[in-house]
Structure 1
Amino acid sequence: MQHGLLLIAGLGCGIAHAQKTSEKDVDQKVEALLSKMSIEEKVGQMTQVTIDLILDDNSLDAIDEKKLKEAILNKKVGSILNVKGSAYTMDTWHKIQKRIQEVATKETPNKIPVLYGIDAIHGANYIEGSTLYPHNIGMAASRNPELVRQSAKLTATETRASGIRWNFDPVLGLGRQPLWSRFEETFGEDVHLVTAMGTAAIKGYEEDGLKSPTAVASCMKHYLGYSIPASGKDRTPAYIPEYTLREYLLPPFKSAVDAGTSTVMINSGEINGVPVHASKYLLTDLLRGELGFEGVAVSDWEDVIRLHTRHKVADTPKEAVRLAVEAGLDMSMVPYDYSFYDLLLELVKEGAISESRIDESVRRIIKLKYKLGLFDNPFPEKAALAKVDPKKSQEVALNAARETITLLKNEKSVLPLKKGAKVLVAGPAANNLTSLHSSWSYVWQGNDDRQYPKSTLTIKEGLEAKLGKGNVISAAQRDYNHAANFDAGQLKKDAASVDYIVLCLGEDAYAETPGNIDDLTLDSKQLALASAAMATGKPVILVLVEGRPRVISSIENDIPGILLAYRPSTMGAQAIAEVLTGEYNPNGILPYTYPKHTGDLIKYDHKYTEGIREDEPNTYTNGAYRPQWAFGHGLSYTTFEFSNLKADKATFSAGEKLNLTVTVKNTGKRAGKVTVELYSRDLFASITPNFKRLRKFEKIELAAGASKQVSFTVSPEELAFINAQGKKVTEPGTFEFIVKDQVVSVEYKTGQEN
């Protein structure tokens, strides 16, 4: 046995040595190339332009040779991104990538390949006919990091097969501002949840090694604070105390750096009046100095020039370039012109920016290109194409959609639908594809129905497949905003002959700024349709297809069954139909607090002080967290009982681990999956403690009547918080650990109390 251990240890040392040797070899190659590059070539490497600049003006995918050579030969562009107007076939991608790399590697002095980037954020969403996975907000509801890893790996494989090796994903901002139009791209409101899911995505993208045909460079985004704009509008300012930044926003990025993410994309907005693209503190001191990030930092779309045009911190475009580069930016997503290249070249030649500063960025960019194998073979790889498995993609997408769906309400067990039931399927999302997918789905906005594969089902079609066409009545149209989708008179007429009304409401597709709203309340036309459905006297099942929580408190009380589907994408309609008919037992739980009122946005991890009310003088109650549904809420068609939560010790101290166990029993009549969540509560601390914090979670499956003991291990470091001095500390005192209705208290001692 000892010989086996020595052999394994020896192999481990050998692998580590080989990795260090390989890294050293790459560094030597980078330095050798850097020494030969002109300043023009270096500045070109820092320039990223959109594909429009190399395409024929009258075509969506045909390269204009003159424009291509202007980009690669004259402006020395090092990176290109995006599509023009629609998803491309794999063949089209190959033609585009092949021609770009031919010019870059055969007609330039140093034969430096181009690094192509894309937003493949829930599948290879810019490849025609690809399978798309649920958006992150739904994936977080699954509480299944393995599904995130699997979908990321499949996305990486398909993206790599197209010839693209850089993916602008995952989003690591916390979803704590539900007005924000990119809420659906987040993994929810909790730090631990976002960290776990985001790290799983990075592993899926990169774990096979960047030279592998199943890997792409990941991009943690958007660093930092993008997801909590004060106004709720996209790309607008955030006001973030250092405590909030470090306690809530920084940990997912720290974990991503530790997991080895290759690149970072910068927040388009500003924090406390300073645009992040111009903040040396955030981009250099914190990101590189403190977090230890060594990869490539790229701007978001057009954000360098916006330091001049929008933020007004640079009085000229040239000053905008200087500010961003000196702050620590490596690459500018310009994207529609060569202004960044021209201005940065001027700045270096004038001595306003040193060549050594340029070398820092170019060194990182070139190193990434070496690590991705672009210098070995920059062209689309047959080995990657051979790895694409559409059947596996659909299987994972279906499993993911199933596990995301969250049953919010099931009064009198109205669900599942009774066998042989006749169902009216109504509402704007009933026969619509775009709302199921939303942003980054074949086109940026996801709103072009013509782009979706013909095999993709709507909810109506999904129910027809399960119940039979004769049992489904629907006048719903494909166009979300079609007048027929809001026709209360038609709904009343159709409802006369059915047993149930499945009402599909929520939001149509949107991405970024076009998704800005002023009110979380579901729009009046949809609320009116819900009222009409309730007035028929037939049981109403509400299916919410939305990227953020739209307030439905005015109708919720009279609707017995409510299902939240989020943005389930390609296999979403089938998954919804399976849940409605009882073929699949729902197990998703909320990754955010679902508000009851637009002005009540208190989170589950609110401070004690946020929960104190004084409705009468000198009379205090603790009950201000009163959402429509709480973070972690989600029902099943079976029931689970939690008991016997125990800690292995009554006190623990620095350097020790605390082991907790809880017994979970399926007390219902069918098998089901359930997420076991462990929360902690610090009773007293030098900073006002949170009411509770999620620390661990595990999803298990139990047969009817079966029990399982679930174990969690917690270290003192995992209970730490940022104190008033900005230090991360675990203070002595009593901690409560909570699983559902089970609570156990444990004393933490630092060992210095005596």
Structure 2
Amino acid sequence: MRHTDRRRRWISLVAIVAAFAACAAHGVAKPNASPSSIDYRSFDEVVTPILGRMTLAEKVGQMTQVDLAGLSDVDEVRTLALGSVLSGGNSDPEKGNSREAWAATYESCQQKAVASRLGVPILYGVDAVHGHNNVLGAVIFPHNIGLGCANDADLVERIGRVTALEVRATGTQWDFAPCIAAARDDRWGRTYESYSEDPARIAPLGAAMVRGLQGDDLRLPTSVLACAKHFVGDGGTSAEIKKSRFTGQVGLTLDQGDTRCDEATLRRLHVAQYPASIAAGVGTIMPSYSSWNGEKCTSHTWLLTDLLKNELGFDGFLISDYDAIDQCHDDYKTAIGLAINAGIDMAMVSKRHHEYLELLTELVEEGEVPMARIDDAVRRILRVKAAMGLLDSDYQPGVDAQAGAEFGSSNRRDLAREAVQKSLVLLKNTGIAPLRPDAGRVHVAGAKADDLGVQCGGWTIDWQGQPGDVTTGGTTLLQGVRDVASEAEVTFDADGANAAGADYAIVVVGEPPYAEGFGDDADLELPAEDLAVIRRVREAGVPMVLVVLSGRPVVLDEATVDGADAIVAAWLPGTEGAGVADVLFGQTKPTGTLSFTWPRSAAQHPINEGDESYDPFFPYGHGLTY
């Protein structure tokens, strides 16, 4: 294929090295139009004839993505010539949440698309942010914060490959991942979607995920279109006390806020990770809900066109976040004009797509949005579709009959278990760990030890996640301990009772599941019931290993730290809790290092390596081993 020849791969490698060299030397990201590993412009010979045949209605349709739940009838894919359909966080197929139901829904939508006048297939998008986390039975990997602590690009690329295979087994060909935000204030409820506070650690991991998802050739039925997000500064917003648009409660809010900094700081902390993903060939980028110095990124011409497309050389297309255009102006028509003229190529519209199509058409007819901007947007979308083989004359819209054979298989779960092992960070160890697998009695305490939903966190089946059995299959930490320490007597008590007399106590605490908006937290304290479990076990006088399940560093007071003989940050490990037990019992050594600073108190936030008065509990890069 044109985009996989040796010369282009060499160009890509040079671009990545150059991007990193620039960041290291200057502290800012200023690569000049680094070439991508995929030359999307080379597909113009396929795209131009199609673009020339399109009516204005078909062009604006191609620029529109509608939530499955917002379609009045699936035939709207055909009649409106839509460019894309997505399933949002809670938008599952009507016939259930099985792999088969997802595949049938995809095929239904795609059949409608190819039956339109020009027969241009749709892209079907989902947020598969730690495995195909929307679908029952899928393998769920650790969230990005854990992978950032593993700091293993090869591992991340392999995870991307398996994620692509599981996503394509449902027909879907577009994943809104990876998130390459640099979360600079851990009170943000999306911190676990970030690999690190440091863009230098994020950049190679984000590029690895792009390579894993997109594979060697986007035309292959095993490849998925990646989407780097959220451009730009989404992890740098300033904390404010205001009423949340999600919960209605007045409190600390960071989500969808304002990143206030000069251009040099924006480049150094929030732009620097993007050149590597662009060089890896990422086909789409999603602008952020958030603002930069008071101006919405979704309608920011300098950020989207001058910087991202022109300076950084991004040749794919921009997809707005979920209804993000609505926030650009109180008047919806004005908002649409601002966003499209700024550089948005495809609009993610949950329900008001008829209004969007009508208003965008009016803006073009009135001259407010130039036809040249419309043609540029559609050309970019069609180039990506051509690179994926969707415009080939022999394109088949169905799902490969064999694609689901390995869905959720034990081999894929073995990779997830490896990822868990490598993502754990041993924060403290007085010599108790590794535990003896043949100990007389191991007492496991805390309800979260036997809770797959807590283990997986947000973006697992439900948008916000849910405690309990999320029916994805998998192994809780408790079951993992029983499997790995099979020679020992393993007892369990959810509230921490009955620990006396045990050789070891493993106390599992942490955060309940949450996602964006709902997860903003001013205090980052452990729940009262978890603190009670710690206290009961400590009073029993048993050697204690504290395992923390969380989407970010939580507050551990001096008494908690002093009272534990070992502390392990397990993050949100996903479905394979046995990986935690592997490390606890020495089946493998802990190798993870903190990709985020661990503060002494929430009052220290934002706290990041390099701060003038840097006094954390555990510094960035900390991590013990055996």
TM-score, scaled relative to structure 2: 0.87
Whether the aligned pair in 1 keeps the contact of 2:187 and 2:522 (CA below 8 Å) is yes
Check if 1:253 corresponds to 2:274. yes
Q: Say how many residue pairs are matched.
A: 576
Aligned to 1:182: 190
Check if 1:27 corresponds to 2:44. yes
Aligned to 1:46: 63
Q: Distance in 2 between matches of 1:150 and 1:227?
A: 26
Secondary structure of the structure 2 residue equivalent to 1:447:
coil
Check if 1:326 corresponds to 2:341. yes
Check if 1:474 corresponds to 2:483. no
Aligned to 1:635: 624
Q: Distance in 2 between matches of 1:374 and 1:305?
A: 30
Displacement of 1:126 in angstroms is 2.0
Q: Distance in 2 between matches of 1:543 and 1:441?
A: 21
Q: Distance in 1 between matches of 2:423 and 2:161?
A: 19
Secondary structure of the structure 2 residue equivalent to 1:423:
strand
Q: Distance in 2 between matches of 1:15 and 1:503?
A: 48
Aligned to 1:299: 320
The verdict on how the C-alpha distance between 1:34 and 1:579 changes in structure 2, with shifts beyond 3 A counting, is same
Summarize the alignment of residues 320-719 of structure 1 with structure 2, pairs less than 5 Å apart: 320-338=335-353, 339-375=355-391, 376-382=395-401, 384-385=403-404, 390-417=409-436, 419-447=438-466, 449-453=468-472, 455-468=473-486, 471-476=489-494, 485=495, 491-492=496-497, 494-554=498-558, 555-571=560-576, 573-601=577-605, 603=607, 605-606=609-610, 610=612, 624-637=613-626
Whether the aligned pair in 2 keeps the contact of 1:434 and 1:446 (CA below 8 Å) is yes
Q: Distance in 1 between matches of 2:267 and 2:357?
A: 35
Q: Which stretch of structure 1 is more off in the superposition, 224-233 or 323-332?
A: 224-233
Aligned to 2:216: 208
Aligned to 2:142: 134
Q: Distance in 2 between matches of 1:408 and 1:170?
A: 27
Q: Distance in 2 between matches of 1:298 and 1:144?
A: 29
Whether the aligned pair in 1 keeps the contact of 2:437 and 2:485 (CA below 8 Å) is no
Displacement of 1:192 in angstroms is 1.3
Whether the aligned pair in 1 keeps the contact of 2:168 and 2:223 (CA below 8 Å) is yes
The verdict on how the C-alpha distance between 1:366 and 1:509 changes in structure 2, with shifts beyond 3 A counting, is same
Check if 1:270 corresponds to 2:276. no
Higher relative contact order, structure no. (Cα contacts within 8 Å, ≥ 6 residues apart): 2
Whether the aligned pair in 2 keeps the contact of 1:165 and 1:372 (CA below 8 Å) is no
Q: Distance in 2 between matches of 1:291 and 1:22?
A: 14
Aligned to 2:242: none
Whether the aligned pair in 2 keeps the contact of 1:175 and 1:183 (CA below 8 Å) is yes
Q: Distance in 1 between matches of 2:8 and 2:605?
A: 53
Q: Distance in 2 between matches of 1:502 and 1:20?
A: 47
Secondary structure of the structure 2 residue equivalent to 1:348:
helix
- Letter aligned with residue 442 of structure 2: V
Q: Distance in 1 between matches of 2:39 and 2:228?
A: 25
- Between the aligned residues of both structures, percent identity stands at 32
Check if 1:286 corresponds to 2:304. no
The verdict on how the C-alpha distance between 1:75 and 1:24 changes in structure 2, with shifts beyond 3 A counting, is closer
Q: Distance in 2 between matches of 1:33 and 1:551?
A: 57
Q: Which stretch of structure 1 is more off in the superposition, 79-88 or 505-514?
A: 79-88
Q: Deviations over 1:215-237 (max 9, x none)?
A: 11110100000012211521122
Whether the aligned pair in 2 keeps the contact of 1:431 and 1:458 (CA below 8 Å) is yes
Displacement of 1:141 in angstroms is 1.1
The verdict on how the C-alpha distance between 1:388 and 1:211 changes in structure 2, with shifts beyond 3 A counting, is farther
Secondary structure of the structure 1 residue equivalent to 2:66:
strand
Aligned to 2:23: none
- Letter aligned with residue 41 of structure 1: E
- Letter aligned with residue 562 of structure 1: I
Check if 1:92 corresponds to 2:94. no
Which ranges in structure 1 are unaligned for 5 or more consecutive residues? 1-10, 55-65, 308-313, 477-484, 486-490, 611-623, 638-754
Q: Distance in 2 between matches of 1:389 and 1:418?
A: 28
Q: Deviations over 1:203-223 (max 9, x none)?
A: 111231110122111101000
Higher strand fraction: Structure 1 or Structure 2? 1
Secondary structure of the structure 2 residue equivalent to 1:557:
helix
Aligned to 1:149: 157
Aligned to 1:733: none
Q: Deviations over 1:398-420 (max 9, x none)?
A: 11111111111111435424622
Q: Distance in 1 between matches of 2:166 and 2:296?
A: 35
- Larger of the two Rg values belongs to structure: 1
Q: Distance in 1 between matches of 2:188 and 2:262?
A: 20
Summarize the alignment of residues 71-82 of structure 1 with structure 2, pairs less than 5 Å apart: 71-82=76-87
Whether the aligned pair in 1 keeps the contact of 2:439 and 2:487 (CA below 8 Å) is no
Check if 1:103 corresponds to 2:92. no
Whether the aligned pair in 1 keeps the contact of 2:180 and 2:206 (CA below 8 Å) is yes
